[in-house]
Structure 1
Amino acid sequence: MSENLTSKEYSPEELKEAFLKMYGGDEASIRLYSSPARINIIGEHIDYNGGKVFPASINRYLYIAIRKRVDTKILYNDARFPGSYEFDINQTFVYDKANDYANYLNGILSQLKERGFKFDCGFEILMASNIPAGGGISSSSALECGFAYAVIDTFGFNLDRIEIAKLGQMSEHNFMNVKCGIMDQFIIATGKKKSRRAAGL
């Protein structure tokens, strides 16, 4: 297998190295986060109709490296996919098909702003996912929840994991115009090793 950015599986340490190659700057201020995929043993597509489901988070991860900037720019890059997206933290975010995966990230930022959270600067991120896109194990929800947690923690916002799950769902509803349930976001945001929890929201 080729060792280029688009073919390999990444570890957090390798992602940090790739981040420094891309952006340069100070290593100490880089924050690393991971977000798991999920499986669902029973109840696919019925959570939004009040049915019972049995999901679990698994050990396939999306990794996110993030660092604050001194200006108001936002830079998105993905180690597996070519192209870079640039926005400004002060702009109004709207869905644009041309923005591809950046729509999921901007949807989260849009929901945070609607809740009244204020950003004092921009940030730059590099992501690498070991979750197969389109594989039925919620790569998009892992992206939403992982990004939401990374931003919330980096900027010191006060939101717990259940609220992060709700944030992801509302981003889908209000920004992506996808009327999904909350099963995927809930298990990804709150799942713990060797534990179980009822999704009573």
Structure 2
Amino acid sequence: MLNLGILISGRGSNMESILKTIKRKKIPINPAIVISNNPNAKGLRIAQKLGVKTEIIESKGFKGTREEYDEKIISALSKNGVTPKNGLVCLAGFMRIISPKFVKKYKNRIINIHPALLPAFPGLDSQKQALEYGTKYSGCTVHFVDSGMDTGPIIIQAVVKVKENDTEESLSKRILKEEHRIYPEAVNLFARKKIKVYGRKTKIT
């Protein structure tokens, strides 16, 4: 069975959604480790309550390079069986850009969720970008992580209609509901070896 590592920085609501889905025996994957760069992340307590091992690798005040920090993450993942051959890494509100070395080592084994319909509105404040642009539809995207900013091959997307009276908060709330639905679905597809990657494109078999 595949081993899953989840990286968080805050509450980790997508992490919680994934772990609860696994607990219901819906995804054939072993939740091996949750790692946070923030010692005060609320998600650490949630993971512990769900019986998942946690580790803190604090990034604040870290004196080394991004690559050196990521080596610590990779070491913790590997020690817990989340390897490039038998692992999947999920970014769930992990507020760091991971290094090209990390991406290369875990090629097509790191996935992320983004609160917009990529390639539209990458980066931060996606819901604000969508509202300011005047788009009629937004949503969320689960994608493989590559060395760009939200540019990896798309696995699954969900569409959310933008209402005329939407605020950043109201739109974010509806998008988050869809995130909690499609992220576990993407993990399940990966665990069942249903995703094939062809260059920039993915095919669900």
Classify the TM-score, shorter chain. Answer: under 0.3
Structure with higher RCO (Cα < 8 A, 6+ apart): 1
TM-score (norm 1): 0.27
